[in-house]
């Protein structure tokens, strides 16, 4: 079952169970996917984004909510921060399991060996391979710094 199908089934279940908060978050995810489908048609694509693209989209949604929750907490708006954090929990149910720091380190070593990375100029090759193999499983912002540190 594709990720898109799993999300549709979860949406229907949330409607039947009358889970308003969960339903709201699932609708946000589906709306973002439909927006991406429409944008892909405009770019000459077939109009249906793939599961890896959906995972990347949902990863961005999690990051946006983390930033919003932090801003709300700093502004003393705890009820809004809690809402953002609850949405993160729902989104993460459909994302692949995040890799541990040890697994990330092993993946970086393997990618460096596979690409034959020898200098800081090869960071792009290593990152491209990691993104292809481990989409949604690691924070690529942090991983980029780790890869650069291996050459530094």
Residues 86, 96: Cα–Cα separation, whole Å? 18
Provide the mean pLDDT of the chain: 88
| Whole-number pLDDT of residue 35 | 92
| Whole-number pLDDT of residue 85 | 95
| Whole-number pLDDT of residue 39 | 87
What is the fold of 101-151? Arc Repressor Mutant, subunit A (1.10.10)
DSSP 97: P
Measured in residues, the chain has a length of 152
| Whole-number pLDDT of residue 42 | 78
| pTM for this entry | 0.72
| Structure confidence by residue, pLDDT tens digits, 77-128 | 999 999 999 999 999 999 888 888 888 889 888 888 888 888 888 888 888 8
Residues 143, 140: Cα–Cα separation, whole Å? 5
The torsion region of residue 104 among left (phi > 0), alpha (psi -120 to 50) and beta comes to alpha
| Whole-number pLDDT of residue 46 | 73
Query: Does 20 score more than 80 pLDDT?
Result: yes
| Whole-number pLDDT of residue 136 | 73
| Whole-number pLDDT of residue 139 | 79
Both tokens of 55, joined, read: 């995972």
Instruction: List the chain domain ranges.
Output: 3-92, 101-151
Cβ burial, residue 29 (10 Å; 0-12/13-18/19+): buried
Establish whether domains 3-92 and 101-151 are of one fold. Answer: no
Find tokens 């491209």 and name the residue.
128
| Whole-number pLDDT of residue 24 | 95
Query: How does DSSP assign 129-150, residue by residue?
Result: HHHHHSTTTS-HHHHHHHHHHH
| Whole-number pLDDT of residue 45 | 67
**10 Å Cβ neighbour count for 21?**
13
| Structure confidence by residue, pLDDT tens digits, 41-69 | 877 767 788 888 888 889 889 989 999 99
State the Cα torsion 134-139-142-145 to the nearest 10°: 30
The CATH classification number of 3-92 equals: 1.10.1510.10
């Amino acid at each position: 079952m594709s990720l898109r199908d799993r999300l549709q089934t979860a949406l229907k279940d949330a409607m039947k169970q009358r889970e308003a908060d969960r339903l709201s978050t699932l609708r946000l995810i589906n709306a973002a996917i439909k927006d991406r489908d429409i944008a892909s048609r405009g770019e000459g694509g077939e109009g249906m984004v793939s599961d890896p693209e959906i995972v990347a989209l949902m990863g961005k949604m999690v990051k946006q909510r983390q930033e919003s929750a932090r801003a709300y907490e700093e502004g003393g708006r705890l009820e809004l921060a809690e809402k953002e954090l609850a949405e993160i929990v729902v989104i993460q149910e459909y994302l692949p399991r995040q890799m541990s720091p040890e697994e990330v380190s092993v993946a970086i070593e393997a990618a460096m060996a596979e690409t034959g990375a020898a200098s800081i100029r090869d960071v792009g090759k290593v990152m491209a391979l990691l993104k292809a193999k481990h989409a949604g499983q690691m924070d690529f912002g942090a991983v980029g710094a780790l890869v650069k540190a291996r050459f530094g």
